[in-house]
Structure 1
Amino acid sequence: METQIDATVEKDSFYKKKALFEKALYKGEITNGGYVVKGDLSGIQSFIFNIPSKHASMYLKGRSAYLQLLSEVVARYVHDKLVGESMDFSQAVIYKGGGNFLLYYEDELIYEKIESLQAEIDKVLYEAHHEGLYLALAGVRYEKGYQATLNQRLQILKKRKFSGLSHHNLFEPYEKAERRPISGEKRIDNCGQEEVAGFYESFKKLAEEYIKAEAISFKSVKGGAGNYNSWDGVFDAFEQQVEFDNAHAEPYRMVNRIDVRSFDDLAKNSEGAEKLALLKVDVDNMGDLFSDKSLKQTQEISDALGFFFEEYLNTIIDEFKGDVELYNEEGKKVDIKENVRRIYTVYSGGDDAFLVGPWNVMVELASRLHQEFDAFAPKSAEISLSASLTIIDKNYPVIQAAETAENWLHLAKHRDGKNAICLFGEVFSWGEWGYIDKLVELLHGIIESTPGNPRAIIRKVEGTTSAFRKITNNINRHDELKMQSVYKLMYYVRHLKSGKNELAEIYKNIILDGFLRPDSFASENAHGLTKQVNVNYMIVPVACRLAEFYQRKMGKHDL
């Protein structure tokens, strides 16, 4: 039976967490004593997206679920080896999520066990994934500046991956790919057909269990051998067992439900062009956020972010439910699902999320996520959200799309002031993104009310780009507004039969925001000083591109 979300309860939780988040950001006092241990999993991006195109959605979910569980399994393994049953795992956890965990212990003697534990973790991960996944483990005394020392040690370990293994293990050739496949490895059988190695095939089965689970339990099992033939075999090697929905299972926060399992079906249910979009979001300035915070503050900040990305995100996604038509491999409609989720969560947790869905739904979701996070994040801290939106054909290779999404997110996060979104390789502030939204909506309305060729209307608006570019260049480079350029822009706008007044109003607001109110396209740094950010003239062509998507169905002459 599907659980119904009570919006009132969710909003109540939202404001309570927001208040705790705000409180946790006040400067804390770090008292010396005890020891902190951090685990940091790397290779996540390559591991998740190194999949075959067929049944991509289930492979993605399986691998994502595996990594989320693996991080906790290793954390529990480390805890058991350090203190055994003398302390409950939940008492040691400061935070866990996003491939990281931080544990705290009062006994500093655990320092002696860290190096041997790293070697044990290296052995299991190398056996299971070769060099595909690596978890660095480091510990330092809990004292002022511990975060910097801890992160420095982790960076050193990442540059010396698997240094705890003997040279014999590192250079041992593979004899049985079925037993120890490289991430995503395929082998060719005698008939020339590709077959995904059995170990990675088990992730599909994990996905089936994971998306149905309401709760998960973790159980220590002494002396686990680990056979590396399936995901649970790896967990067994870490002396941990994972069970779904048993009588003693504990609640586990996760955005896991999937109503539509085919990317092809999601694309076919787009409005206009049959395309998918990948939305990747990440919180900015996380290092500064945790700087000089006590363990209690760190725990509260992590819990607040976990609530947003692992619980509240469910509420947001449910607002985009709709009817979805399902198709067979021949492209024939075979069924329709009513009022279901149209957004596929690859992963969400910690301080980031990766989502896939019909392109037009994801455009709306990007705006909504920013709006909700902006309302959630305390104004007293320089904390914001950056994103990338990658619109692709439904048959485009997932691994390449994921790399593009990651590269574009990198561009957004390296914009001066961050707090931005990247689409088609162009970086926009969220203020500029709002204007793109308005332009697309206006173009949509003009096309609906004007007979004739939609492309011709869009091209007329796109033709104003040159004049708009001259205006923004003068604002950005010389901090001046030349009215001659403005008159020329308005001359181009006059050629529209309808919507010209509304379009002129949008242009006027963009120009005034860029020239008279530069803070609309800027953010404040840690010293409260405004960072000037240039106005991106590509607002216009990008809006035209999206408007054109709304008008088209896929064909040989598609975009």
Structure 2
Amino acid sequence: MEENKKEVRNLLAIGALFHDIGKVIIRALWGETEQYFKQIEKEKHYKEQFKYAHAYSTYEFLKNIVDNPVILASSYHHNPDGAEKEFKLYAKIYQLADYYSSSERSEKEKIEKENLLRVIFQNIKVPKIESKSQENFSEQEYFYNLQPLQINNEVIFPIKKEDLISFDEITAYKNLWQGFQNEFNILKNAYIKEKKLNSSEKFLTALYYLIYKYFWCVPASTYDPERKERHYPDISLFDHLRVCSAFSTSLYTDYNLNIIKNGDKPETEIKLIFLKGDISGIQKFLYGITNIKGVAKRLRGRSSFLALLPDLVAKALLDKFGYPFVNILYSGGGHFEIVLGYEEGIEKELDKFSKEVEEILFKNFYGALGLALGYTEITLSELRNKEIYRNKIMKNIYRVLEKNKKQKFKGVLINYSIDQLLDIINQEFKDIEKNYTVCSSCQVVITEEKGEEEKNICKWCETFKEVGEIIPKAKYLIFSKEKLNNLPGFHIDRIGGVYFLENLSKVSIQIKENNEIYLLNDTNFLKKDRCDGFKLIAQIVPQTNSEVMTFEELVEFAKGDKKLAFARGDVDNLGLIFMQGLGEDYSISRIAALSRSLDLYFSGYFNYLFNLEEFKNKIYVLYAGGDDFFIIGPWDIVFEALERIREDFKKYTCKNKDIDLSSGVFVGRDSYPVRFAGELAGSEEDKAKEIKSTIRVLSESLKWEEYEKAIEEAEGIVNLVNNKKIGRSLFYKFYQLLKSFRDNKNNISPKFYPQFYYYLYRNVKDKDDREQVINFFLDSKNDYQVKKDALFKAKYVIMKTRE
């Protein structure tokens, strides 16, 4: 009887997510562990069957829930020979998946007694970056608190070891386990009847996100009470389980199963495929929009579409090859990473899929967006060799990926003639009774001419506007393979769609049963309308009276000069961090944990940060995810927000000096086209990244510490001007002097000083005020040289005091 591979892989994924659940059960019993071991020794000779207590505990938990052999076999992942005959093959799959997903255990000595998750950021060290301090970050211990995932700084930010004095670890584990059980019962009652799963795909999705919620903060391995060993706890149980889940499904291919059943040394022959996909053209596509009516809504819709497009393509790829979503190791920031099992001819099928998606994207966006894939195969034994793994996975994939990105639409150009390509573009516009024109919004897609410029909008720009209207109010997200009519969202033929909803009351039971429904930016997905999971998307939009603010309304919050700031930023040296930052601890789970943790800050934490009182309804998050962001708002509030983003990011990453941000800012009027403002902010960001850990603002590059100090000093002078102690026009004079006497290397000519003092003494009579101005511009500790931040501060004062 032919097996349904997709269904078996779903069950394998479920089993893998459960396989180490016994570890949490035992930790919840700490203080009673000895008694627990004595009890299970009496009840069953667990070592003969399961080898370890946590595996036996997993079995005891699962046997009361399901009777499916594929899932139950996960309990035997340490001892397949102890399993019943129908369990053995699956048990062997779990054993291999667990071993090779946990072979990443760090060689660092584990000496701490705390059984808490150590924050992975504190171990990052990039050799090529000259250290700014001799401080050894490994000496300062940071941990995550044992709390269910909630998006706020109290939960997701690390805590120092000295702050754990009054922390009750045993009670925390008990509460965590009890919370998991309470919500798991909701899941069990919904999908398991008489130990039979009625929807493995739905159950898998909800289980994945429930485990994410409760075990993101739990270390995969700490103290082993049976082997009396301590392991270095820097990988979460969730990350270990999800990687093991992806490996388990990837072993279930004809090629790999044949080796598992018949091979003497399966680890040397079993192959996995690691794949990275990159959506090209994102930046130009996002900014490629004119400043006609509705631009803010269309921007919002576009940015959401681009944030979710990697998910859609990754899900379509997995669906084509018969895998569940757990095989997505990461998706966000314009790219995705996937692991698959090897099959004969899979390379041709992957290339075929890539060409199909490129053709679909070309038909929809006329070459504005494309897809590049890079992939490589690797054996299980090679995974254990960090150097081979690093070279084969990262370097080889990136080399192929970069090559394919430079050959954008190669498949389309090879398969179609120029006339055929024109026919593809014109296929929807053959009605000779109608007139056609280029879309007034995107200036790319052809659409029917309707007279007024604001009506000549293509179907995609109309869709983006429609979605942009609902996003600020949206609480739910639906991923669907089929097109769902009458729901606001995006759909691409043969790829899939995503829809935004304010409530689920109007959604039919059939849609709910046949599609994935996610709660937006809230982890209580089982308690609220029983969704399938949660999705974090930065969707902050300023509102007034429940309506989205226009840029014209938003700019009124600016103090002084009525201008907006367009700010872009991202993480410095990201490639080096991923390639070299982990050193000898480089592994698939750590890379997955790093990607997830960075995305959690930008996609998740931004929603919390910009809902705080000082920023609420004043900052427009155009996008944030992966490792970068783009925000818009009143210039002075954005300046303040950038300080806070960087300050919190440093706390989030354990103040590791090898992990930092750079940002570029363009300041312009509210009517300035976002397309050009974004490009100018990007150019400023590029200049900032030439130095690193820098903000480029008002045409000046400053280190973050310099920037923060400059803002503080400038605010002091602003108070003097506002109190009429110094005239604003004087600072405009100083600004002009600084600009006119500065050369290409930013050196100030000596001719500056006599004119500076002339204007100062002529216009400021109070001695103390004069001294404050002198110290504002000149460095008394360095022979009164003009300070590096002088020009920035002068411009800041001029802007802040404009009436």
Residue by residue, what CA displacement relative to the aligned partner does 1:476-531 show, whole Å, maximum 9, x if unpaired?
A: xxxxxx9x99999788766633533334445566966x99xxxxxxxxxxxxxxxx
Q: In structure 2, how many angstroms separate the alpha carbons of the residues matched to 1:401 and 1:37?
A: 34
Match for residue 445 of structure 1 among 715, 719, 722 = 719
Which residue identity is paired with 1:55? Answer: G
Alpha-carbon spacing, 1:108–1:411, altered in 2? closer, same or farther (3 Å): farther
**Structure 1 residues 114 and 469: CA distance shift in structure 2, 3 A:** same
Q: What does residue 479 of structure 2 align with?
A: 218
How many angstroms apart in 2 are the aligned matches of 1:510 and 1:57?
48
Residues 419, 362 of structure 1: alpha-carbon distance in 2 compared, 3 angstrom cutoff: same
Provide, for residues 155-203 of structure 1, a one-character-per-residue CA deviation record: whole Å limited to 9, x for no partner.
Answer: 1111111112212344547436779978543658374645111221111
Q: In the TM superposition, what is the alpha-carbon distance from 1:55 to its structure 2 partner?
A: 2.0
Please identify, of 446-455 and 167-176, the stretch whose mean Cα deviation from structure 2 is larger: 167-176
Give deviations 1:256-281, integer Å, cap 9, x for gaps. 13233311111122111211111111
Which residue of structure 2 lines up, in the alignment, with residue 97 of structure 1? 332
Question: Larger Rg: 1 or 2?
Answer: 2
Distance 2:287 2:305 in 1: 13
Q: Does 1:551 align with 2:801?
A: yes
Give ranges in structure 2 of 5+ residues lacking alignment.
1-148, 160-215, 220-232, 241-266, 379-388, 431-435, 505-528, 581-585
Q: Give the residue type in structure 2 aligned to 1:271.
A: K
Distance 2:447 2:770 in 1: 60
2:136 alignment partner in structure 1: none
Q: Structure 1's 400 and 466: CA in aligned 2 closer, same or farther, altered over 3 A?
A: closer
Partner of 1:295: 588
Native 8 Å contact 1:187 1:196 kept in 2: yes
Superposition pairs of residues 379-458 of structure 1, within 5 angstroms = 379-380=655-656, 382-415=658-691, 418-451=692-725, 453-458=727-732
Matched, 1:14 2:157: yes
Aligned partners of 2:756 and 2:727: how far apart in 1? 23
Matched with 1:368 is 644
Distance 1:265 1:371, change over 3 A: same
Q: Deviations over 1:363-419 (max 9, x none)?
A: 11111112111222245562210001111011111111111011111111112xx11
Provide the residue aligned with 1:238 in structure 2: 495
The whole-number CA distance in structure 2 between the counterparts of 1:23 and 1:381 is 19
Tell me whether 358-367 or 205-214 shows the greater mean CA deviation. Answer: 205-214
Structure 1 residue 321 displacement after superposition: 4.0
Return the offset for 1:350.
0.5
Look up the SS of the partner of 2:157 in the other structure.
helix
What per-residue deviation string (whole Å, max 9, x for no partner) do you get for residues 83-110 of structure 1?
x1xx421x21221111111011243554
CA contact (8 A) 1:34 1:107 kept: yes
Are the counterparts in 2 of residues 436 and 543 from structure 1 also a CA contact under 8 Å?
yes
Structure 1: how far apart are the matches of 2:802 and 2:742?
A: 26
Deviates more, 1:137-146 or 1:291-300: 137-146
Could you tell me how far apart the structure 2 residues matched to 1:8 and 1:388 are? 26
Look up the match of 1:67. Answer: 306
Matched residue, 1:502: 772
Q: Distance in 1 between matches of 2:693 and 2:279?
A: 26
Contact 1:219 1:240 in 2 (8 A): yes
Distance 1:120 1:215 in 2: 30
Distance 1:239 1:313, change over 3 A: closer
Give the 5 Å matches for 1:334-373. 340-373=616-649
Residue 252, structure 1, aligned to residue 538, structure 2: no
Instruction: State the TM-score, normalized to the length of structure 2.
Output: 0.54
Could you tell me how far 1:452 is from its partner in structure 2? 6.7
- The range that moved more, 114-123 or 370-379, is 370-379
2:288 aligned with 1:50: yes
CA distance in 2, matches of 1:401, 1:67: 19
Q: Indicate how the Cα distance of structure 1 residues 438 and 108 shifts in structure 2: closer, same or farther if over 3 A, else same.
A: farther
Residue 111, structure 1, aligned to residue 360, structure 2: no
Q: Whole-Å Cα distance in 2 between the matches of residues 318 and 265 of structure 1?
A: 18
Distance 1:279 1:8, change over 3 A: closer
Report the Cα distance in structure 1 between the residues aligned to 2:369 and 2:578, rounded to whole angstroms: 26
Distance 1:491 1:432, change over 3 A: farther
Give the C-alpha shift of residue 73 in structure 1: 0.5
Measured in 1, the distance between the counterparts of 2:801 and 2:757 equals 26
**Aligned AA (1:251):** F
| Structure 1: gaps of 5 or more residues | 1-5, 323-339, 476-481, 516-534, 554-559
2:644 maps to amino acid: R
Please say if residues 390 and 579 of structure 2, whose CA atoms lie closer than 8 Å, have aligned partners that are also in contact: no
Q: What letter is aligned with 1:14?
A: F
Following TM superposition, by how much is the alpha carbon of 1:18 offset from its aligned partner in structure 2, in angstroms? 11
Alignment of 1:299-338 (within 5 A): 299-319=592-612, 321=614
Counterparts of 1:37 and 1:278, CA distance in 2: 34
Cα contact 1:268–1:274 (8 A) shared by 2: yes
Question: Are the equivalent residues in 2 in contact too, given 1:108–1:141 (CA < 8 A)?
Answer: no
- 2:567 is matched with which residue? 279
Q: Which residue of 2 aligns with 1:37?
A: 275
Specify the alignment match of 1:532 in structure 2. Answer: none
Flag the 1:363–1:320 CA change in 2: closer, same or farther, 3 A: farther
Question: Is the contact between residue 98 and residue 349 of structure 1 (CA under 8 Å) also seen in structure 2?
Answer: yes
The residue type paired with residue 411 of structure 1 is: K
1: distance between equivalents of 2:577 and 2:235?
A: 10
Higher relative contact order (CA 8 A, sep 6+): 1
